[in-house]
Each structure stands twice: as C-alpha cells, then as structure tokens.
Copies of this chain bind each other. A is one copy, B any other.
Amino acid sequence: MKLSTKGRYGVKAMFDLAQHMGEGPTSLKSIAERQGISEHYLEQLVSGLRKAGLVKSVRGAQGGYLLGREPDKIKIGDIIRVLEGPIAPTDCVSEEDPELCSKAEFCVTRAIWEKVRDSIADVLDSITLETMLEDAQKIESERNLYMYYI
C-alpha cells in the first residue's frame, strides 16, 4: 500500500511549478535541485504529465515547464492517476476496467477494497494545487507569527 517515488516526486514537482507560477517556464534542473530528485528520472515523469495535459513545455534555452491549467483545476488525484495508474488497492476494484472475478457480485472482501479505493480517491480529489498553496501560505504566516513572539 505504498506510493512509488513516481507519485511522490510528481506531486512535489507539480507543487514546485505551482509555487513558481508567473515567473515564466521552470526548468527541470531547478525543480530537481530544489526537490532533491534526479533530473533524468524527473524527465520521464514529466513526460507523462505533459501527455496528460497537466503541464505544458517550452523547448529551447530558457525553456521549461508551466502548469497545464489553473492550480485550482489540478487535483492531486489527477497527478497520481497519471503517474501511478488508476486508483486500485486490488485489480478487481480498479477505477478503470476492473478485472472482475466470477463471484464479484457477492464478494464480501471486494466490498472492503471498494471502500478503501473510494476513501483514497476522495482525499486525493479533494486537494488541489491551489489548496496546497493556501496551506503553504498558512504555515508560513504561522511561522512568522511564532518568530515575532520570540
């Protein structure tokens, strides 16, 4: 039940892009440095995100990547699905064409995995890059408040 580095790195990279919006294209090199990720590896992940329309690329010198749409229109679930595939604790409850077994209709264990799948999807689809930016700002201002009182 672990996320692979693809999902983790992907969300980090997308959040990094969100934090640098309005500064022109952000290069993979700078993201990789800030987030401590292999640049070459990141290339592969971003390639998928680009094909899914979650980021736009600008080639050539001073090029890089931009968010594919507004941060409030990019759910964490979108990112995870591109990089890790459909949300599915088991194949028989995959969001995309589940591999139903003959007893699926009456399967009591299957019902559990469905609930797990839905609870994960609910969390991931309730958070957007915009939400994350707001959370980051909140943490930052609380931190300043704390500093003030020292």
> Which residue numbers of A lie inside 8 Å of B, CB to CB?
1-3, 7-8, 11-12, 15, 76, 80, 84, 87-91, 106, 108-109, 111-113, 115-116, 119-120, 122-124, 127, 132, 135-136, 139, 143
Contact = CB atoms under 8 A, between A and B. Distances in A.
A4 to B, nearest CB: 9
Give the interface centre of A87, A112, A115, A122 by most chain B CB atoms within 10 Å: A112
Q: How many monomers of this protein are in the complex?
A: 2
22 contacts: A1-B1, A1-B2, A1-B84, A1-B89, A2-B89, A2-B91, A3-B113, A8-B90, A8-B109, A11-B112, A108-B132, A108-B139, A109-B132, A112-B123, A112-B132, A115-B123, A116-B120, A116-B123, A119-B120, A119-B122, A119-B123, A120-B120
A127 B120 CA distance: 16
Nearest to A91: B2
A135 B111 CA distance: 9
A76 B1 contact: no
Contact of A135 (B108, B123, B124): B108
Given A8-B109, A108-B139, A116-B124, 16 more contacts: A1-B1, A1-B3, A1-B80, A1-B87, A2-B88, A2-B91, A8-B90, A11-B109, A76-B112, A108-B132, A111-B135, A115-B127, A116-B123, A119-B119, A119-B122, A119-B123
**At the interface, is chain A mostly helix, strand, loop or mixed?**
helix
